């Protein structure tokens, strides 16, 4: 096994880092401009085939992109990761030729923004407990119900929405639909007031007698749960890459701060601070190996649930721990709401929760270890 990135991947990392440093805006509004710049570079569909308008890159290159963008703007990294992994891949893997012709090139090229609507108030970690419903009507379905915590809610152009045809069937009744923004009966709530990732809109998605033709059903009736579960591994690798970028950024910031303080005072960094930094840097390298391994296993076409969950919970825990420790090392000023480390702490916390809480990730790993 080669633990060193290839020359090609090193070149792509440098390209993505330059793009982040030179072109990514870090304001306080939805980063539409960042998404447009990323689309012009071909980054909105990086791992999708070129024949569908994508970049044709491998999953490791995509993972490095999300890592580097998240170093600069964690919200932009989150939006592009969700758009790609669970906003576009459902259509790519499970869509009909006609559905792909309608939407896939637009998603891959960044003309359309994709979103994923699975979570409900009573169906978070237990995704099989959906209550949002669909009933047959004429040549389509009527959808009713409410989805929660939709990344890019209100901004997305195409939603992959999961509803049940019959709650008594449990996960076997869940079916997925492609729903365009602006469809009558579809409304988004106000953006949630979150502790972090505030440039990424997170909203409710409400459906009231929303009519969807059969042509917008994704795969067969009852296949929705399998679709959703098959996509989460790739999504979790994307979250791990976000957390990796955040952790790397706060460690770099703190290293620079401690060096500058040495120069100003003429005194070496005390041993406690130096050891804390060494510990964080070592854990960062371990996290990077976990994340990149998960990306390589996915790229190989093998099942990667264990690797994805390990990478997600280890790296997101590190991102929170790194932000916490670095605030301690930099002192009281780093706790101010507008300080980069304070913002990173708030942003990092979300990575422990979405795409499956870290408790769920540990459950996934344990099941893989203990199954007979």
- In total, the chain counts a number of residues equal to 372
What are the Cα distances from residue 310, in Å, to 14, 79, 154?
27, 22, 32
How far apart (Å, rounded) are the C-alpha atoms in residues 103 and 105? 6
What residues does 174 pair with on adjacent strands?
164
Q: Is the dihedral of CA 18, 20, 26, 30 positive or negative?
A: positive
Contacts of 51 (CB under 8 A, 6+ apart): none
Contacts of 251 (CB under 8 A, 6+ apart): 277, 280, 281, 284, 322, 326
The Cβ of residue 102 has, within 10 Å, a number of other Cβ atoms equal to 18
What residues does 188 pair with on adjacent strands?
205
- Both tokens of residue 23? 């072109």
Pairing of strands 140-151, 202-213: antiparallel
Q: Is the dihedral of CA 345, 347, 353, 358 positive or negative?
A: negative
Q: Is the dihedral of CA 300, 304, 310, 311 positive or negative?
A: positive
Decide: helix, strand or coil at residue 221. coil
Decide: helix, strand or coil at residue 140. strand
How far apart (Å, rounded) are the C-alpha atoms in residues 38 and 358? 30
CA dihedral 55, 56, 61, 67 (to 10 degrees): 40
Catalytic residues: 355
- Both tokens of residue 365? 């790993």
- Both tokens of residue 83? 């758009």
- DSSP count for the chain of H helices, then E strands: 11, 8
How far apart (Å, rounded) are the C-alpha atoms in residues 250 and 239? 17
């Amino acid at each position: 096994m080669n633990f060193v990135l290839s020359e090609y991947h090193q070149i792509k990392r440098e390209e993505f880092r330059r793009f982040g440093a030179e072109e990514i805006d870090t304001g306080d509004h939805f980063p539409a401009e960042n998404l447009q710049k990323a689309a012009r570079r071909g980054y909105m569909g990086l791992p999708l085939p070129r024949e569908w308008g994508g970049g044709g890159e491998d999953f490791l290159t995509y993972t490095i992109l999300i890592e580097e963008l998240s170093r600069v703007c964690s919200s932009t990294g989150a939006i592009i990761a969700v758009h790609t992994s669970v906003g576009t891949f459902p259509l790519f893997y499970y869509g009909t030729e006609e559905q792909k012709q309608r939407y896939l090139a637009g998603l891959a090229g960044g003309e359309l923004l994709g979103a994923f609507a699975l979570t409900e108030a009573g169906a978070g970690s237990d995704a099989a407990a959906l209550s949002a419903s669909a009933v047959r009507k004429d040549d389509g379905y009527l959808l009713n119900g409410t989805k929660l915590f939709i990344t890019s809610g209100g901004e997305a152009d195409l939603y992959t929405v999961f509803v049940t045809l019959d709650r008594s069937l449990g996960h076997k009744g869940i079916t997925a639909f492609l729903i365009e923004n602006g469809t009558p009966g579809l409304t988004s709530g106000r953006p949630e007031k979150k502790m972090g990732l505030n440039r990424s809109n997170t909203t409710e998605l409400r459906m009231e007698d929303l009519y969807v033709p059969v042509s917008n059903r994704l795969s067969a009736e009852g296949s929705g749960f399998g679709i959703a579960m098959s996509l989460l591994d790739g999504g979790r690798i994307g979250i791990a890459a976000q957390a990796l970028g955040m952790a790397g950024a706060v460690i770099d910031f703190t290293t620079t701060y401690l060096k500058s303080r040495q120069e100003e005072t003429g005194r070496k960094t005390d041993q406690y601070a130096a050891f804390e930094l060494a510990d964080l840097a070592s854990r960062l390298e371990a996290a990077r190996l976990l994340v990149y391994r998960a990306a390589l296993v996915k790229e190989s076409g093998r099942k990667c649930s264990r690797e994805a969950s390990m990478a997600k919970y280890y790296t997101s825990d590190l991102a929170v721990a790194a932000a916490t420790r670095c605030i301690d090392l930099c002192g009281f000023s780093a706790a101010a709401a507008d300080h980069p480390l304070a913002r990173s702490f708030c942003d990092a916390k979300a990575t422990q929760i979405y795409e499956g809480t870290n408790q769920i990730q540990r459950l996934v790993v344990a099941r893989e270890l203990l199954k007979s």
